[in-house]
Structure 1
Amino acid sequence: MDAAELRDLLSLEGLRLLDELPAWESSADVVRTVAGLRKAGHSPGVVAAVLSQSRLRARAVAKFGPFAERMLFTEAGLEQATRLSVAALHAGRFQRAGVSWVADLGCGIGADALALAALDIEVTAVERDEVTAAIASYNLAPWSNVRVEHGSAEDADLAGIGGVYLDPARRDGAKRLRDPADWSPSLDFAFGLGERLPTGVKLGPGIDRELIPVDAEAQWVSVDGDVVELGVWFGDVARPGIRRSALVVGTHGSAELSAADDSPDADTGALGEYLFEPDGAVIRARLIGDLARSLEGRMLDPSIAYITGDSPATTPFATAFRVLEDFPLDQRSLKRELAARGIGTLEIKKRGVDIDPAAFRTALAPKGEKSATLVLTRVGARRRALLVERVQPA
């Protein structure tokens, strides 16, 4: 979104039209809608801005629920914004630590600032992009305890501030993210604040683990099976004795697996009746060994994130499967086995083998009315194909 589109959107005409539009539907005839709005006398700029915003609001419901109906967004801002359920967990850390005034540096469209304000915490929200700062001002206007500033994180006045939250952006051209300077503000700046103030830093879950300070709490968060962030916490917003944690948020609510460090690997052993696929947050946090032991299970291979066991179990930290058949990983024989079972819809999972699941599914040419899941992996030194079925939670 550029400044001209923002002006059209924030005009009395634009905001009124946005509120009057029906909920966005992807199947709607956009050309007919545009023609109707133009015929009603609305300018091309206003129509484009309002329809774009209506589409973004519809997408934002997944992150913001009913709050999305009164918020404004940019494409990048919505993509990068913290889900409101996760932002509430961030805010809770500051509240429990007794922090009454937080600087949200790099606030984006205002998701984390909104969650902090809802807990009656004073917030100074700083955003360097002028358009995004204006959007944040609109979104945070209902909260009198929030002040939005247009400026850089590095230049923000932190006098009197009790805690800091940062969401550094990847610098243009940065790819591997192994250099602290690949972010803006830099990780040296962000982690430096953690040395003197209670601080939370939101990062992508795939960051090079060598960059995580040894004295910080690192929490990987997944929502509905998707690992969405790594939170690095310092000072009073970090929890004593915890350096690694996996927070899993889903229909079950939230559950956490935590430890003082990466967990030692579990023993390896033979394939059992059940297979467990750890949640991505557990894998990122390197807590697979602790999870395996809690399930009384073992690893198929020390380098592969699958756990096996002999007893059924349901856990929020892994998807459980019952092993129906154990086949050699051979394309021709698997094709015959699937055909004999009438399997036409096939989900393929793989770890520890160099196979393209989509191409492999095409080569198997499954036909029939039944569906199944096939896990391609190694059991010890053997390449195996495991026909499995999901164990439904009790």
Structure 2
Amino acid sequence: MGYGFSRADVSFLGSPAGAAALTEVDRLELTQATHLRDLERVRRTHGDRAAALVETVRLRRKAGAKLADAGNWLFTDDALQQATPTLVARRRAARLAGRAVHDVTCSIGAELAELSQVCPAVIGSDLDDARLSMAAHNLAGRRNVLLAKADALVSVSTGTVVVADPARRADGKRTHDPAKLQPPLPDLLAAYPGRDIAVKCAPGLDFDRLDWPGEVEVVSLDGAVREACLWSAGLADPAVTRRASVISSAGTSFTLTDAEPDEIPERAPGDWIIDPDGAVVRAGLVRHYAAKHGLWQLDPRIAYLTGDTVPPGTRGFRVVDRLDYREKTLRAELRRHDCGPLEILVRGVDVDPDKLRRTLKPQGTQPFTLVITRIGRTPTAFLCTAVRPPSS
């Protein structure tokens, strides 16, 4: 859970004295091995402020991998964990550019920081006093941002787009049940009838059961699926109900929707196997992605794609051999190919990759990828070399 910050802590940390103390503490290692020694050293100098100082420095170091320009920000551990990565928040803000927006679960201000760059007026509200004080520190100097203490389930603004990010933990565990989010998703939606609203949710949410009338956008960042965002009908293209947004910090981002064609041929496996980005898979747009890039499916119920070329910038697996899925056969073929380092990818077959790798015991020198899947009812293995072609 991390240290429980008070408003007094935030006030001190945001003061010139607090800033000087944080600079001093930042010179320490603060590793797991040195934690107790470092904490005792800070206590000797700063007394009961020590825990807040050490925790803030620790969180700032973690935040650098997730948030841009947040080197002087204040956080709680939970708030940093739930904070939207800058590139993801920036994409959402771009869709709302020019609108007045109210983030009703603003926390420490990660979404507000991006919204304030492109929206004329931004309101942020939360019930947590410490987080609101942190947001005020983090967003200092942004004249188009207003912060207020308010319950997300009580509408306190008019004429704004509502943005919400319900907490995804219930009883200390991550939940995919919309009714167990905090605040519960059904209650949140009921609080803003007829309003334009965008709600950030866990990507594992069962969208079909939710029966959402607008657009569901699944977002990945650098290969990891980060979130799903529910866009109300007023904020979405009426032709789009599903969108995959694949964001890369390298700049090779793309978006795909269910308004695009999904007709693909049925053919034998090609020279390459492609495992689509997780956002494409979770948004249910595998066929759309295949149609866009001249690919087809190994099996209509499995998300692996195949073809004779690989989409630019995408990791592909060049097929070396197609094998029956029998351990004796696999072991012999791996030995014949001098297989050493072995990556095992599995879809549609009940196989534990780590256990199988220990069973096969590859002892050669050449790296390979073993793609195990089902074609029809037949478990099939493809021995491949993994290649990431240059972007075009």
What is the TM-score of this pair, normalised by structure 1?
0.88
Indicate conservation of the 8 Å contact 1:222/1:229, yes or no: yes
Match runs of 1:304-383 below 5 Å: 304-309=302-307, 311-315=308-312, 319-383=315-379
Q: Provide the rounded CA distance (Å) in 1 between the counterparts of 2:40 and 2:242.
A: 55
Residue 267 of structure 1: how far off its partner (Å): 4.5
Query: Are the structure 2 counterparts of residues 143 and 26 from structure 1 closer, same or farther at C-alpha, using a change threshold of 3 Å?
Result: same
Alignment-derived partner of residue 22 in structure 1: 27
Q: Which moved more, 1:227-236 or 1:18-27?
A: 18-27
Equivalent of residue 89 in structure 1, options 88, 91, 98: 91
Query: Are the structure 2 counterparts of residues 265 and 191 from structure 1 closer, same or farther at C-alpha, using a change threshold of 3 Å?
Result: farther
Q: Which moved more, 1:380-389 or 1:222-231?
A: 380-389
Provide Cα deviations, 1:158-209, integer angstroms capped at 9, x if missing partner.
13x321111122362487644x432233323443466522221111111111
Match runs of 1:1-394 below 5 Å: 7-8=8-9, 10-11=11-12, 12=15, 13-20=17-24, 21-22=26-27, 26=31, 29-39=34-44, 41-43=45-47, 45-65=48-68, 67-95=69-97, 98-99=98-99, 101-159=100-158, 161-170=159-168, 172-173=170-171, 177-178=176-177, 180-192=178-190, 195-250=193-248, 251-260=250-259, 266-309=264-307, 311-315=308-312, 319-394=315-390
Residue 285 of structure 1: how far off its partner (Å): 1.1
Q: Provide the rounded CA distance (Å) in 2 between the counterparts of 1:36 and 1:23.
A: 10
Alignment RMSD: 2.6
Residue 327 of structure 1: how far off its partner (Å): 1.7
Q: How many residues align?
A: 383
Query: Are the structure 2 counterparts of residues 156 and 17 from structure 1 closer, same or farther at C-alpha, using a change threshold of 3 Å?
Result: farther
Q: Which moved more, 1:101-110 or 1:23-32?
A: 23-32
Residue 278 of structure 1: how far off its partner (Å): 0.8
Query: Are the structure 2 counterparts of residues 32 and 349 from structure 1 closer, same or farther at C-alpha, using a change threshold of 3 Å?
Result: same
The residue type paired with residue 48 of structure 1 is: A
Tell me the SS of whatever aligns to 1:201: strand
Q: Which moved more, 1:68-77 or 1:116-125?
A: 116-125
Q: Provide the rounded CA distance (Å) in 2 between the counterparts of 1:154 and 1:5.
A: 24
Residue 107 of structure 1: how far off its partner (Å): 1.1
| Unaligned ranges ≥5, structure 2 | none
Q: How high is the sequence identity, in percent, across the aligned residues?
A: 33
Q: Which moved more, 1:205-214 or 1:369-378?
A: 205-214
| Unaligned ranges ≥5, structure 1 | none
Residue 225 of structure 1: how far off its partner (Å): 0.7
Provide Cα deviations, 1:9-67, integer angstroms capped at 9, x if missing partner.
5424443211332386758733443344345x221x322222222121111111113x2
The residue type paired with residue 19 of structure 2 is: L
Tell me the SS of whatever aligns to 2:90: helix
Residue 343 of structure 1: how far off its partner (Å): 2.5
Tell me the SS of whatever aligns to 2:382: strand
Residue 292 of structure 1: how far off its partner (Å): 1.6
Indicate conservation of the 8 Å contact 1:212/1:218, yes or no: no
Tell me the SS of whatever aligns to 2:316: strand
